Amino acid sequence: MSLGLIWLAIILLIPVIGLYVLRVNAVPVYLALCVGYVAMVFGAGNANLLVTQGNRLLPANTGINLVFLVLPAIVTAVLSVGSAHGKKRIINLVPSIALGFSSVILITPQLPKALAGSIYSTGYWSTIKSYETTIMLFSSLIILIFLWLSLKNFKPSKHRNKD
């Protein structure tokens, strides 16, 4: 078994197993990962400039992208420990798996080049990459369905108010 395949499995299974063991609802963690992605795309570049501008010893990419990406999800998971109870815990595996696959797609390019390269060299990465759009859209749809079903006041009305 190659090192890249091991890291791919770790990135995929940490959300699934971790959220199950800690009884964390995967929906807000997935949404926090998405917020982290937005923060990374729009904010990490500026933060990276601030960190490296006065310090010539730091490489251009100091892992700030990875921090921006995963920190909101980690904080959300820590604050949500115990939020999935009983039957919800088993059902929560579905959005946890969606989170795991999305994590692989979003986190892998932000890893150090050698580690990312070992993941890229696996045959599984090329398959994941070819289905990247489908995986992200399907994962998002799963999360939205779970989010909508979890809303206490979510009841589709038969008649719209005509205000």
**Closest of 20, 28, 111, 120 to residue 69, by C-alpha:** 111
For the cut 90, the answer to whether the pLDDT of residue 161 exceeds it is: no
| Segment 7-60, tens digit of pLDDT | 999 999 999 999 999 999 999 999 999 999 998 888 766 665 555 555 554 455
Angle of helix 26-39 versus helix 3-21 axis, rounded to 10: 130
| pTM, rounded to two decimals | 0.83
Q: Which pLDDT does position 71 carry in this prediction?
A: 95
Write down the mean pLDDT value for the chain.
Answer: 86
Domain locations in the chain as residue ranges: 3-150
Distance between CA atoms of 53 and 101, rounded to whole angstroms?
35
- Position 148 confidence tier, pLDDT thresholds 50, 70, 90: very high
Max mean pLDDT range (33-47, 121-135, 146-160): 121-135
**Closest of 29, 32, 31 to residue 18, by C-alpha:** 29
Q: Which pLDDT does position 45 carry in this prediction?
A: 65
Where is pLDDT greater, at 82 or 163?
A: 82
